[in-house]
Structure 1
Amino acid sequence: MNDSAVFPDGPDGAAHVARVVRWLAEDLGTGDVTTEAIVPHDARAEALWVAKSEGVFAGADEALTVFRALDPRLEWQPQVAEGAWVAAGTELVRFAGRGRAVLSGERVALNIAQRMSGIATATRACVRAVEGTGARILDTRKTVPGLRDLDKKAVAIGGGSNHRMGLYDMAMIKDNHIVAAGGIGAAVAAVRAHAPGVPVEVEVTGFDELEQALAAGVEWIMLDNMPPARMAEAVRRVAGRARLEASGNVSLETIRAVAASGVDFISLGALTHSVTAFDVSQRLTGLRLG
């Protein structure tokens, strides 16, 4: 698990800027016919973002990268800190730049910030729901291809922790791997021989598999789709010999009971695969020539 994920290319990195340019190209195509018809080339605009619901604001850096790809001199003045819980009606950021850039970049910038804010908001709700239990909230690999770093960054902004970034930084032995290897012990041995030093996690569905994972000496065990009472028994049997992660069909309604079982972590794919966008509105506050 990455307690603070290392993103190899930040919001100002060349790879991220190139990705933003591709996003804009998808939207702009041969040109923004509406904006180009209405807004003079030399017009300057002032605008602001306003929250239309309550939640956690995230994605400001990424939104700025979008606008700066169209206007490198765009001025950006955040009104709240990223990661802040905001009420509906809160001004989030004020900015000014080329009028066409402000309007043509609006949708792409909002799409990213609204998605990241939605993920951060859902994560914060889960973190609050398990306060006092010691359980930590994890994300999964159930992210939009090409957006994993941003999805996971949003989870961290919301107060959650990042699980493995991909298939390369942690071994996760699941049911099909166990079948392919001929058992949990054989699967663990094969992974350790192939990638010594890489953390190993094993997914288990019952106590027999749990004991096999413990016998193999793994440092992390995922309890898959177990009810809280069985999770509590698993915690008792493991007795601190491995980290325990609860996963599978966990919701905001059930997460407190899952955390109360004594598990160390709770992972939720819904944080990133079932995102409810955080509603943000862009408002033009001024337009002038030159």
Structure 2
Amino acid sequence: MNKNTLIKKYFQKSHLLKIENPQYQKTVETLFNWLLTSDHAENDITAKFLDNKTIKATIKTKQDIIAAGIEEIEYLLKKYPEISFQKKVTDGEKIKKGDEIAIISGDNRTILSLERTILNILQRMSGIATQTQKLTKLLYPVHIAPTRKTPWMLLDKKAVAAGGGLTHRLNLSDGILIKDNHLQILKNENNLKNEEQTVTHALKMILPQITNTSIEIEVTTKEGANSAIKTFFHSHCHSREGGNPLNSNNTSLTIMLDNWTAKDVRNFIKEVNTNPYASSIIFEASGNINESNLKHWAQTGVDIISSGALTHSAKAADLSLSIL
């Protein structure tokens, strides 16, 4: 299994972010119900003054965007037999300013009560997808992924995927990621001196217990990164034919270079590429990476760049719902 195949296997889970997946469906429904409850949509005292009428409304975009959230809204509105939702675009589709996204027809009170919640979902997800595609083009062929700074959890991940990004882990059960606080606990418990020793200890503890999974470890120093490579190879692969980590129980190692400078990452990747086993290690850079400095990171040689800005700072798409 080559590196690109491993990246797709462990870092791209968009196939699970479909309404047909019961877990994702439950997440979408839970968020939708929470939004409606918070908005007291069932008690829209303004809409109650209107006589019940059948109306038609259009949702349009006021800017060029990548559409996202269409599948979710289409599914959620099926729970309201008094209205119908007719989509005009699909998730991941590029649409121009002024284009129609969907038509909603039916009971006027229901449409008005749901209006803001519908728009909030479409605007947030489309905003994330639009920003992701913009950054994906700047980074190509390096992959971009979100972090866990995802207020809407799986819906944010789905939006990133719609824009062409990786999903990374979907939740805490979806792959092993050893971060700084895990390492600090191990360091304290075992009286270890530095990151190099702690990384070695962590991987020696975990690797014998896992198969067919992804393990990622966060490092802040070159010594820690080299220790991870050495330990992964010797502890997990040394006894295997050819000694190639890519053939070792389908377990892959990703090293997260956290809060490094772009220059330090670039120099490290050049150095580590002289290691015959470097081709089997996935390198991810993270920490203070955003649109303003992305081009510098695209030249570092890493495989994945993860950025919290994809989901915690993306601007909502400018959409409107208008009665026809």
TM bracket, shorter-chain basis:
0.7 to 0.9
CA distance in 1, matches of 2:30, 2:255: 38
Counterpart position of 2:191: none
Aligned to 2:46: 34
Question: Which has the larger displacement, 57-66 or 118-127?
Answer: 57-66
Q: Structure 1 residue 229: deviation in Å?
A: 2.0
Which of 82, 87, 92 aligns to 2:91? It is 82
Describe the superposition over 1:157-176 as per-residue Cα deviations: whole angstroms up to 9, x where unpaired: 00001111122121111222
Structure 2 residue 317 is the aligned partner of structure 1 residue 271: no
Q: Which amino acid aligns with 1:60?
A: I
Is 2:131 the counterpart of 1:122?
yes
Structure 1 window deviating more from structure 2 (26-35 vs 50-59): it is 26-35
- Which of the numbers 188, 213, 225 marks the counterpart of 1:210? 225
1:248 aligns with 2:324: no
Output the amino acid matched with 2:135. Answer: C
* 2:125 alignment partner, SS class: helix
Question: Shift of residue 123 of structure 1?
Answer: 0.4
Matching of residue 165 in structure 1 with residue 204 in structure 2: no
Q: Equivalent residue for 2:73?
A: 63
Name the TM-score, length of structure 2 as normaliser: 0.79
1:188 to 203, 224, 244: 203
On the 8 A contact 2:57/2:322 being kept in 1, the answer is yes
Q: Distance in 2 between matches of 1:156 and 1:126?
A: 12
1:48-59 matched pairs, under 5 angstroms: 48-59=58-69
Instruction: Please state which structure has a larger fraction of its residues in helix.
Output: 2
Which residue pairs with 1:103 in the alignment? 112
The structural deviation recorded for 1:6 is 4.3
Matched, 1:21 2:33: yes
* Partner residue in 2 for 1:139: 146
* 2:260 matches 1:226: yes
Aligned residues: 278
Cα distance in 2 for partners of 1:12, 1:228 equals 39
Contact 2:60 2:98 in 1 (8 A): yes
Question: Which letter does structure 2 place at the counterpart of 1:98?
Answer: D
| Matched residue, 1:175 | 180
Q: Distance in 2 between matches of 1:196 and 1:121?
A: 36
| 1:194 Cα deviation from its structure 2 partner | 4.9
Letter in 2 for 1:227: T
Change (3 A) 1:5 1:12: closer
Tell me how large the CA RMSD over aligned residues is. 2.1
The letter of the residue matching 1:222 is M
Structure 1 residues 152 and 55: CA distance shift in structure 2, 3 A: same
**CA distance in structure 1 between the aligned counterparts of 2:149 and 2:138, rounded to whole angstroms:** 22
In structure 2, give the amino acid aligned to 1:72: P
Distance (whole Å) between structure 2 residues aligned to residue 103 and residue 11 of structure 1: 28
Contact 2:69–2:126 under 8 Å retained in 1: yes
Moved more, 21-30 or 52-61: 21-30
Structure 2 runs not aligned, ≥5 long: 1-9, 188-197, 233-251, 274-278
Listed one character per residue, the Cα deviations across residues 154-196 of structure 1 (whole Å, up to 9, x for unaligned) are 0000000111112212111122222222311111122234544
For 1:234 and 1:29, the matched residues in 2 are separated by: 54
Output the CA distance in 2 between the equivalents of 1:30 and 1:81: 29
- The answer to whether the 8 Å contact 1:139/1:269 transfers is yes
Q: Tell whether the 8 Å contact from 1:11 to 1:61 is kept in structure 2 after alignment.
A: no
Query: What is the identity percentage for the equivalent residue pairs of Structure 1 and Structure 2?
Result: 32
Instruction: Specify the SS of the correspondent of 1:96.
Output: strand
Letter in 2 for 1:124: Q
Unpaired runs of 5+ residues, structure 1, are 286-290
Give the match's secondary structure for 1:160.
coil
Provide the C-alpha distance between the structure 1 equivalents of 2:224 and 2:30, rounded to a whole number of angstroms: 46
Give secondary structure in 1 for the equivalent of 2:164: coil
Q: Measure, in 1, the Cα distance between the counterparts of 2:35 and 2:173.
A: 27
Seen in structure 2, the aligned counterparts of structure 1 residues 76 and 11 have a Cα distance that, compared at 3 Å, is farther
Q: Within 2, Cα distance between the matches of 1:191 and 1:56?
A: 41
Distance 2:84 2:44 in 1: 22
User: What's 2:55 paired with?
Assistant: 45
Kept after mapping to 2: 8 A contact 1:247/1:268: yes
**Structure 1 SS opposite 2:316:** coil
